[in-house]
């Protein structure tokens, strides 16, 4: 069996490969694709320098693949053309199964972020390829604990619960799907232990011994803050919109699916914060 992991040089991709290896998949059966393959040279797998803009290179890289872990692109505004290339290449190569990392409740959410993921899900479904959708909720690592210690937490999520999980948990769940059977056509809503941003600040404060507070802003003010610290406006708007949706419960995803795929409880928030502070 050959498993191809796209975006393999990013945080999630590397963790997924490590999890596949831990589950007994031989390194010779894993191919990692990415722009900076030197970052994963130590894993002992085959690597190919490929990006989402080159449909021909993707098609060649997918040749003979039984399964593809398609990790969504990270460039806001470029996902649709890039994802179209990936799906086109996978179709041309006739891959056995495509496992896509999507967004929570992509088919019903009004988050800006969800639109590109829903379009990709539809492309994959229409391609006729066997598929699995992993609708990952927020990563706990999205919140910079060290910056929070210095400046506090800021956002626009109000008292909305965010079912964040660690990247490692999402990666392990993806690996479980890739090595397992009976997942074709399944859509998994993956969430972790829910917390508000005020609760997150309190946990950082408790473990660090330093006062950390959460300042809730309007989405418009949050965009201004993010742009002020150097984020591109389109990305800032997506983040602020995600907080707006979180305030209404859009990121409060049950942990049932994630724990079923993991075969264990999700990593507790306290454990994730302890690791970030170490």
Could you report the per-residue pLDDT of 243-260, keeping only the tens digit for each?
999 999 999 999 999 999
Structural domain of residue 109, as residue ranges? 3-139+165-191+254-264
The answer to whether residue 198 sits within a structural domain is no
The answer to whether residue 145 sits within a structural domain is no
The answer to whether residue 15 sits within a structural domain is yes
Q: Which helix (H) or strand (E) holds 164?
A: strand 162-164
* pLDDT number for residue 177: 98
> 3-class SS at 86?
helix
Write the pLDDT tens digit of every residue in 122-156. 999 999 999 999 999 999 999 999 999 999 999 99
Percentage of the chain beyond pLDDT 70 is 100
* pLDDT number for residue 184: 96
* pLDDT number for residue 200: 98
Helical H runs in the chain?
Answer: 11-22, 55-62, 79-93, 112-127, 145-151, 167-179, 197-208, 219-228, 233-247, 256-262, 269-277
* pLDDT number for residue 144: 94
| Burial class of residue 181 in the structure, from the number of CB atoms within 10 Å of its CB (0-12 exposed, 13-18 middle, 19+ buried) | exposed
Task: Evaluate whether 245 touches 109 at the Cβ level (below 8 Å).
Answer: yes
The answer to whether residue 106 sits within a structural domain is yes
Residue closest to 174 by CA, chosen among 57, 66, 67 = 67
Any long-range contacts for 17-20 (C-beta under 8 Å, 24+ apart)? Answer: 17/43, 17/45, 18/43, 18/171, 19/168, 19/171, 19/172, 19/174, 19/175, 20/175, 20/178, 20/179
Strand partners, 131: 98
Percentage of the chain beyond pLDDT 90 is 98
Q: Which residues contact 35 (CB under 8 A, 6 or more apart)?
A: 9, 49, 50, 51
The answer to whether residue 196 sits within a structural domain is no
Q: Which residues contact 131 (CB under 8 A, 6 or more apart)?
A: 97, 98, 99, 100, 124, 125, 184, 185
Residue closest to 276 by CA, chosen among 138, 135, 163, 139 = 139
Q: Is the pLDDT of residue 192 over 90?
A: yes
In this prediction, residues 52-68 reach a mean pLDDT of 96
Q: Which residues contact 147 (CB under 8 A, 6 or more apart)?
A: none
Q: Is the pLDDT of residue 77 over 90?
A: no
Give the CATH number of the domain where residue 85 resides. 3.40.50.720
Q: Number of structural domains, the chain?
A: 1
Write the pLDDT tens digit of every residue in 87-100. 999 999 999 999 99
The answer to whether residue 148 sits within a structural domain is no
The answer to whether residue 157 sits within a structural domain is no
> 3-class SS at 230?
coil
The residue count for the chain: 278
* pTM, to two decimals: 0.96
Q: Is the pLDDT of residue 11 over 90?
A: yes
Whole-number Å distance between alpha carbons of 96 and 152:
47
Q: How confident is the model at residue 76 (pLDDT cuts 50, 70, 90)?
A: confident
The answer to whether residue 91 sits within a structural domain is yes
Q: What is the CA radius of gyration of the chain?
A: 19
Write the pLDDT tens digit of every residue in 176-189. 999 999 999 999 99
Q: Write out the two tokens for 270.
A: 């306290």
């Amino acid at each position: 069996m050959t498993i191809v992991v796209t975006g393999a040089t990013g945080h999630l991709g590397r963790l997924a490969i490590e999890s596949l290896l831990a589950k007994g998949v031989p390194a010779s059966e894993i191919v990692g694709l990415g722009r900076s393959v030197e970052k994963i040279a130590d894993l002992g797998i085959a690597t190919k320098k490929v990006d989402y803009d080159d449909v021909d290179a993707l098609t060649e890289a997918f040749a003979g693949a039984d399964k593809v872990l398609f990790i969504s692109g990270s460039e806001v505004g470029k996902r649709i053309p890039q994802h179209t290339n990936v799906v086109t290449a996978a179709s041309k190569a006739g891959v056995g199964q495509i496992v896509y990392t999507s967004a929570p409740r992509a088919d019903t959410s009004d988050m800006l972020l969800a639109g590109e993921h829903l379009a990709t899900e539809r492309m994959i479904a229409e391609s006729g390829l066997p598929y699995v959708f992993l609708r990952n909720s927020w990563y706990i690592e999205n919140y910079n604990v060290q910056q929070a210690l210095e400046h506090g937490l800021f956002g626009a999520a109000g008292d909305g619960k965010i079912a964040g999980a660690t990247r490692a948990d999402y990666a392990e769940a993806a690996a479980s799907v890739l090595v397992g059977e009976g997942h074709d056509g399944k859509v998994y809503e993956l969430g972790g232990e829910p917390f508000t941003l005020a609760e997150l600040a309190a946990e950082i404060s408790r473990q660090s011994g330093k006062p950390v507070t959460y300042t809730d802003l309007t989405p418009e003010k949050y965009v201004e803050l993010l742009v002020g610290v150097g984020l591109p406006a389109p990305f800032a708007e997506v983040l602020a919109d995600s907080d707006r949706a979180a305030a209404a419960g859009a990121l409060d995803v049950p942990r049932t699916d994630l724990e079923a795929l993991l075969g264990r409880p999700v990593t507790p928030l306290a454990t994730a914060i302890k690791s970030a502070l170490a």
